[in-house]
Chain A
């Protein structure tokens, strides 16, 4: 079933991709132009998507229950980290990220927090002083 859904999704993607490619116009000197390569790809993807719909592989083993919740939570956390890294600052954001991820992998609360802080401070020192990277210090609390 997963393969069929992906196949269908690919066909929709191909239709959109091929259709939007049609808007790009070529110069006189360029017989292929910016549209044909994407359009050929669109056709190939549509055919392959159709193949998946009709000849799917056996269903993969999706994780259920708690694992799925934890995976979703880790993704939310990583997206939040991406958005909040600059305003919150590297050390605080990273402490939370690394600590919670360690806890998700089975660390107990205290070691998780300690390891998170250690990773954050260690990386901060290594990257800012060792490699002279400017990591965000945070604008939210510094009033900057």
Chain B
């Protein structure tokens, strides 16, 4: 009952006309960003953050805008998967497998409708899951003191990127570099400038938004120069829906994939891409009796789309309740909350119920808007896909520069952003994950402050860090995840060696 009345209050916030308009704009932009290959959820959200600032949005309004963009990208990615056989963003890769064959058979409209409906179901179920789980997790707030927060942030930075399958040493390095970057600026406890090279521009630290836009959007452009797919992709026509409504919903496949996707989303380190992959694989295992998967089976469209939208909702659970994002896109949103002086975490539910519940209610609203936008208006989005990327990517670069300029009005930050773009490019080329770096930058400050607060309380006795069962448990989880990552890496190397030599 408690949840229902809070949610009711949330709808009071979400249904205010201005917030509805923001959700509508966010859903539209999100679908476009998701649909256009080359702009994924992470860099799409990153380049929109400055706009949220320059529009002087209140925290709840900014979050409604960004989360509807986030949900929108999950809807949009499927459009180019189905019509172009090019995923609009990483989670939509699996949708190509059966979506494009359906379009080849002239059933593009059906595939788009099926994926929109299963996206809606997945997203809505995940939002229900979020509504139920998040307050429960937030109750853990009372058990969190400085030592536990320290342990939590260590877990987030060290372990979250670690299960992605990349070289764990490189993942750790990326996290450490992020932490190093977070120490630049005035030390809040002692007031001393650290690592600022006596440059007053660095006294406030490195702006997270500047770093994120450079790392994701500018590096994406540099990667793009190498690929040179600047032309116009061949798009299949959308056509008319040919099946009856009954044949557009696949309840079993959608529900299974939604549940799986939500759980994967809640787990740290695994995002929508893994969810859609596993959702597709699971459905193929269960339903592919006649070998129709990969040849245009509608269940192969429904399952990954339900899973990735459910994971997107699941990702918000640890981000909002514990302040540890599980994916790049949620990390960027967390960064924006921190920039707005809101520290997500267990206390958020007590201190800012309007923000949290308004946001949760807005998620239901955006899901509904997205369903409405995506079935009748899908032709408009499909038409946007014919814009050649050679004209589109420069726009992304320009918006990145305008965005950063609008925050700081300083050429220094523009140069810094370009530098982060080069760093991000090098990291991507060499197989470093950028998400731990972003997390390190975000969480480094609170990590160090909580460490110092804990040590002040204990008078310099390090044992305080492992005195509560919760902090011990969190440290053990960190160790277990690092150990697992190292184990997989060693096994991978052993398996790879005969092939190399």
* Contacts from A to B (Cβ < 8 Å): 2-3, 6, 10, 13, 17, 20-21, 24-27, 29-34, 37-38, 41, 44-45, 48-49, 51-52, 55, 57-58, 60, 62-63, 67, 70-71, 74-75, 78-79, 81-83, 85-86, 90, 94, 97-99, 101-102, 104-107, 111, 115-116, 119-120, 123, 127, 131-133, 135-136
Interface: B1 (CB within 8 A): no
Interface: B139 (CB within 8 A): no
* Contacts from B to A (Cβ < 8 Å): 51, 54-55, 167, 169-170, 172-173, 176-177, 179-180, 183, 187, 189-190, 192, 194-195, 218, 221-222, 224-226, 228, 230-231, 388-391, 393-395, 397-399, 401-402, 405-406, 411, 414-415, 417-418, 421-422, 425, 429-431, 448, 451-452, 455-456, 459-460, 500
B222→A33 contact, CB < 8 A: no
Pick from A52, A71, A106: contact of B390, CB under 8 Å = A106
A86→B411 contact, CB < 8 A: yes
Residues of B close to A10: CB separation below 8 A: 173
Cα distance, A138 to B388, chains bound together (Å): 31
Pick from B172, B398, B422: contact of A123, CB under 8 Å = B398
> Can you identify 19 A-B contacts, CB atoms within 8 angstroms?
A10-B173, A17-B180, A26-B190, A34-B190, A49-B173, A70-B225, A74-B225, A79-B415, A81-B414, A102-B390, A105-B228, A105-B389, A106-B231, A107-B391, A116-B394, A123-B399, A127-B54, A131-B54, A133-B406
What is the number of contacts between chain A and chain B, taking CB atoms within 8 Å?
Answer: 178
Residues of A close to B179: CB separation below 8 A: 41
- Given A24-B190, A30-B452, residue A57 in contact with residue B167 (CB < 8 A): yes
B429→A51 contact, CB < 8 A: no
Cα distance, A86 to B194, chains bound together (Å): 30
B422→A75 contact, CB < 8 A: yes
B397→A83 contact, CB < 8 A: no
B394→A101 contact, CB < 8 A: yes
Pick from B189, B401, B418, B452: contact of A75, CB under 8 Å = B418
A32→B415 contact, CB < 8 A: no
Cα distance, A104 to B398, chains bound together (Å): 15
- Secondary structure at the A interface, as helix, strand, loop or mixed, is helix
A97→B397 contact, CB < 8 A: yes
Residues of B close to A107: CB separation below 8 A: 230, 388, 390-391
A52→B418 contact, CB < 8 A: no
A74→B51 contact, CB < 8 A: no
B54→A98 contact, CB < 8 A: no
- Given A71-B225, A105-B224, A105-B228, residue A34 in contact with residue B390 (CB < 8 A): no
Cα distance, A9 to B401, chains bound together (Å): 29
B429→A62 contact, CB < 8 A: yes
Pick from B173, B221, B414: contact of A85, CB under 8 Å = B414
